[in-house]
A and B are shown apart, each in its own frame.
Chain A
Amino acid sequence: MVESEIASVEPVAKQGRRTSRKLIVVGLLLVVAIGYLFAVSIPKFMSYYMTLDELKAKGNAAYNEKLRVGARVTIGSIEKDVKAGTLRFIISQGEDSLPVVYTGRMGQVPDIFGDDIEVVVEGKYLPSGIFEAYKIEAKCPSKMTAKLETAEGGGQGGK
């Protein structure tokens, strides 16, 4: 009796192990599939993020790559023509500045976009020295916080 029990248990355990092995294979396949999706999608959809000075330092090498560039909107540089539906402005950081032409939809320009706002423009740097942006992201300014903190003489202020 005891013998037969053992005999009947063994194949079950073996079968269990075989099933586990199959499941591991399935799991690995899934991991490979996810890895594949990643490997294909990253080059297709990535863009390089850089600050304006990094872009300038790169020079020609930056032309025609998909880029996201962060800097501040130069005060007084915004030329918006509602009728023609065009938006041009200059972004700057320290000594560097870059003219930007926006080609996206006006409805997608963030509300807070404006003078002296920190923005990230996404698009291409053209050999003509102009940045053609199809997307603008703006950082929410916690301006009031910043003002308060300078008034107190402390803190680096908000972003």
Chain B
Amino acid sequence: MSITDVGYVAVLLSLVVAFYSGVAAIVSARRGLEELEASARNGVFAIAGLLSVAGFLLFYAFFSHDFGVRYVYVNATRDMPWYLKLSAFWGGQEGSLLFWAWGLSIFTAVVIWQNLRRNREFMPYVIAVLMAIQSFFLVVLGFVSNPFERLPFSPLDGQGLNPLLRDAGMLGHPPFLLAGYMSWSIPFAFAIAALLTGKPGAEWIRAVRHYTLVAWAVLWIGLLFGAWWAYHVLGWGGYWGWDPVENVALMPWLMGTAFLHSIIVQERRGMLKVWNFVLIILTFALSIFGTFVVRSGVLSSVHAFAKSAIGPLFFLFLAVILVFSLALLFTRLSSLRSEQTFDALVSRESSFLLNNLLLVGITFAVFWGSILPLVSEAVRGVKLTVGPPFFIQVAGPLFLALMLLLGICPLLAWRAVTWATLWRNFRWLLLGTLVVAGVLPFVGVRNPWAIVAYSASAFALASIILEYYRGVRARRRFSGEGYPKALSTLVSRNKRRYGGYIIHLGVVIMAVGIIGSLMFQKVREATLSAGESMSIGGYTITYNGNAEVFMPGHQMIQAKLDVLQGEKKVGEMGPGKSIYRNYENQPVSRIAIRSGLGEDLYIVLAGYEGNSLATLTVFVNPLVAWVWIGGVVLLLGTLVAGWPELQARAVPVRRPVRRVVASEA
């Protein structure tokens, strides 16, 4: 027996404990046995410990070059740098699933810990639901897709990760994506607990908001890393290809965004209760869908994963989740009456509703576009597929509408608007927007869609600024503070609201980048002999032949380029191709990128011959940097919105102050 077998034993033990804890938690709730519940809780902590042992042992197997473990043999080589060994953990299916389960065990333990005194009624059921989910993953790990499986012999070296995956980007993208999917289990578990306990009111909504923000942000980091990676590694000049693997990750994020907004309506007005349950159930189902669908081989993707036996199992799991939760919801419908009705067509709550419809609409568009081959084959016997232009044409206008709404929403009062007040603020936005729309054609933006899209962005931006300005002004009037102080007090006293607006600012900044790079990208391809040059978008690129560079485990052919912008030399660039041992016929492009706030110069070595001939594909991508900047601003905003209330104890004293600020809306 080898040390890694202990990992497998830990997985099996976890399964036993998960089963026990789940059952014990339910029995304890039904019978009111506090001690049994404590025992279930201990089970949860034990699983976190056991799976940590399993996880560390798999890392250990990678770092100790234990190639007798099949998973290590397939995904690692001796000479891989440390960060690739680290990322080889989730380079394949078995490790990814272990990562999921391990992450869930830790997150579950944290949630249980934080709720030792809070949400007492929900917790046994939360434990039960999470243990059920955990058990599914543990069954798969234990009996179908075992990362600790041993080969009958111990090879001296491994095969190594697929060259495409040999990138530092692998450190960030997969784990965050998997952790993001995994984290949606928590709000889902609270939702089911709320239905099971017959308390589907506002408590569970308050209990899940922070966890939801965490899941949402983690998934966002995964998406952002993925886009960054695609852009810097894959070499087709863009960051989002509407490939099924990307789409399935976007869907729970969009649905989750809808949920984050609609719970605000339930908290404020006691409406949309059923809708909130539906949203979180679907978000979780989409996360499970995202975890598995590409691996199941049902949707084909360019990022191919080996087809595996877990396909049917996963569909069964998904079906169980959906049938169980929706049936449960159905039986509770009578207790889910709205406490209020919509008072007016134009109001804050109806704008949230529209926001939800748009987000869900986009999710469905992405969903149907992704599964169209399956559906059309089932219905008409032909496989229809659609590519990026389809998604852009369908989702584009919906995102545009969302952007306008994002601008209007803060101006609308709850319940009903008074038109005079609305107009007083709205006219400034309109003015700002019209000015931008009028100026754009003179700075080179002539495409009508680009003008519309940028005007909408300007509108949203103006609204966010106005919102901050009004808040700060009110604060100053009230307290006489200076601007910086007023701003910081304003934000720290209303983190959710002003954090939300920072998030929106991030969205707008990203939109600026996306619109620019989508509509104004320039591309040229040319085959050059040494000494020849090509020009594109104001750049002149001179080719000076190829160089060979040797590195441990691989070898790189590099085209040597001098880059001039106008007359001025701005640098040297060296796009290349790496060739890895064991993967000689699968060279990997090494893209050269010169990034700036205005535009990126992006060069791919498309082909070469000998030392003095190369084909270069050159992209000029405007404003891409703003996609990353916006993405990070969005994250910072989430941090602000979700920052825990540390001065909770001081509340009674400060309450009068808060009221005044909060009601200035």
Which A residues lie at the B interface, using CB under 8 A?
A: 12-13, 15-17, 19-20, 22-23, 26-27, 30-31, 34, 37-38, 40-42, 44-50, 68, 80, 82-85, 105-112, 114-115, 122, 137-142, 144-145, 148, 152, 156-159
Contacts and interface: CB of A to CB of B under 8 A. Distances in A.
B525 interface: yes
B93 to A, nearest CB: 11
B368 interface: yes
Given A68-B385, A111-B577, A46 B390 contact: yes
A124 B426 CA distance: 51
Contacts of A82: 527, 607-609, 613-615
A141 B300 CA distance: 13
Contacts of B235: 107, 111
A38 B397 contact: no
Contacts of B589: 111
Contacts of A112: 164, 586
B100 to A, nearest CB: 20
A37 B350 CA distance: 23
Given A48-B383, A49-B384, A114 B586 contact: yes
B533 interface: no
Contacts of B73: 148
B398 A34 contact: yes
B306 A159 contact: yes
Interface residues of B, number: 68
A47 B159 contact: no
Given A148-B74, A157-B306, 6 more contacts: A42-B384, A47-B385, A82-B608, A111-B588, A115-B585, A159-B306
Contacts of B547: none
A49 B384 CA distance: 6
B302 A19 contact: no
Nearest to B524: A105
Interface stretch (B14-22, B217-225, B337-345): B337-345
Contacts of A122: 387
B384 A83 contact: no
B323 interface: no
B201 interface: no
Nearest to A43: B384
23 contacts: A12-B343, A13-B341, A22-B345, A26-B350, A30-B354, A38-B368, A41-B390, A46-B384, A46-B386, A48-B385, A50-B383, A68-B385, A83-B527, A106-B615, A107-B235, A107-B615, A114-B585, A114-B586, A142-B162, A142-B306, A148-B70, A152-B152, A159-B306
Interface stretch (B140-148, B254-262, B325-333, B357-365): B357-365
B312 to A, nearest CB: 15
A45 B387 CA distance: 7
Nearest to A115: B585
